[in-house]
């Protein structure tokens, strides 16, 4: 999967809210170093982290799911599991 796509989407959200990596990492309760790696696609986001991001940015379920689904469009079986 192209994890960079999720990172880019999160970076756009951060820009809109004018949040730094350090600030978002603090809200997510992870280190800024770990978040930076995840945003670059060097590490994967866990589902609980995506949920936390959705809460931080006041995203509805559909928006948070789209962060994941853009990554798995080609994998219909996985996509159906996420949608359940």
Taking only the tens place, the pLDDT of each residue in 23-62 is 999 999 999 999 999 999 999 999 899 889 989 998 876 6
Q: What is the pLDDT of residue 2?
A: 66
Mean pLDDT of 60-71: 63
Q: What is the pLDDT of residue 63?
A: 66
Mean pLDDT of 8-20: 93
Torsion of Cα atoms, 21 then 55 then 68 then 61, to 10°? -160
Q: Say which residues have a Cβ less than 8 Å from residue 59's Cβ, sequence separation at least 6.
A: 13, 53
């Amino acid at each position: 999967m192209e994890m960079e796509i999720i990172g880019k989407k999160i970076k756009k959200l951060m820009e809109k809210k004018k949040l730094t990596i350090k600030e978002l990492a603090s809200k997510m309760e992870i280190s800024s170093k770990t978040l930076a790696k995840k945003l670059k696609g060097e590490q994967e986001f866990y589902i609980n982290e995506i949920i936390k991001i959705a809460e931080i940015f006041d995203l509805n379920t559909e928006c948070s799911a789209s962060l994941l689904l853009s990554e798995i469009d080609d994998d219909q079986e996985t996509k159906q599991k996420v949608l359940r």
